Structure 1
């Protein structure tokens, strides 16, 4: 599958499920104390400047960062998701874009968040995505990455209210993600494994762009 194919499938899938997805995630952080703690820690690391929430979906995490005093803005591949984010969180900037080709100047953001937005990116594309993250971050700026921990991939054909989708969901070992980040010029600061005894654990990595 070419890059254009999987990107188009991902965009179409999330345009289709956008309203149902937003409804399910609107209060998702309420029951996630460790994720809220990770976001608070990330917010405390950010200096003066704007922070990009890449793959922001309906904008609930972007809005939470705003509540923490972070000047965050959201970017998402799905125009329907961006429309919902703008509707639900007026006053916060949201724009359509792809993490495979970030339309941001070099060293222009004081922090970057990719919270479970890498799960549909093929392994072969991840190094280029991380190179792009490094390019737009200022030296020593923080990066927070959250993802499904584990092994293997599966094709998701239905989700979020029973709507049709066509996306591959990738699970990854934290040590592999950390290795990709180091190769892209990041220093790993901390790692958190969430729900390790459950069938679908998650992982959060804190990193800094090297000077």
Structure 2
């Protein structure tokens, strides 16, 4: 799954996606607490990588984080900028974040890696490692399941990741895994989150 496939698929449904999933009030309370707590431990600027309609970016901005959002889909960036004019958003790829080496305190990748082809995951994680400062923090959220198995997604091909798989990839990219959460709620796809720090 390349950037072009994701861009085209979400561009057609950006407004629909925003109306269905673009409100922080509709996000799981445990996710809100986890992300807010994580951001409170970050020293420096945070990029919300794959910010979509910008609800998480704005959520953290409202809690004092120094944060901006990037997304490959121009329609999402336009929507986010209109909804949250006090927050900076711009178009960029996860594979090339267009910031200096070691310049960030944190990267939030909340469900933005689910469309990345398995072979490209090391490339994206290496880019996250490049832009993070020493002791920089990374938080990843994803669907927990058999590694790289495709899942039923309403927009474009997406993949389950296993905690073991993601932990190994993070370690190979130069991160130390700090915390793992797995949550299997009735009626929802299994969820996992991993917090990591630059070694």
Give the structure-1-normalised TM-score. Answer: 0.88
SS in 2 for 1:141: strand
Q: Provide closer, same or farther for how the CA distance between residues 84 and 31 of structure 1 changes in structure 2, counting only shifts above 3 A.
A: closer
What do you get for the CA RMSD once the two structures are aligned? 1.5
Gaps of 5+ in 1: 160-164
Cα offsets for 1:94-141 (capped at 9, x unmatched): 000100122111011111100000000011000111010000000101
**Structure 1 residues 25-174: aligned runs within 5 Å:** 25-47=21-43, 49-151=44-146, 152-154=149-151, 156=153, 159=154, 165=155, 167-174=156-163
**How many angstroms does 1:67 deviate by?**
1.5
The total of aligned residue pairs comes to 197
Q: Which one of 177, 190, 193 corresponds to residue 201 of structure 1? A: 190
Give the structure-2-normalised TM-score. Answer: 0.94
Structure 1 stretches (4+) deviating beyond 6 angstroms? none
CA contact (8 A) 2:142 2:193 kept: yes
Counterpart CA distance in 2 for 1:20 and 1:31 is: 16
CA contact (8 A) 1:29 1:36 kept: no
Gaps of 5+ in 2: none
**How many angstroms does 1:198 deviate by?**
5.0
Q: Which residue in 2 is equivalent to 1:179?
A: 168
Counterpart CA distance in 1 for 2:185 and 2:60 is: 26
Cα offsets for 1:8-42 (capped at 9, x unmatched): 11101111110011111232444511101111211
SS in 2 for 1:177: helix
CA contact (8 A) 2:24 2:56 kept: no
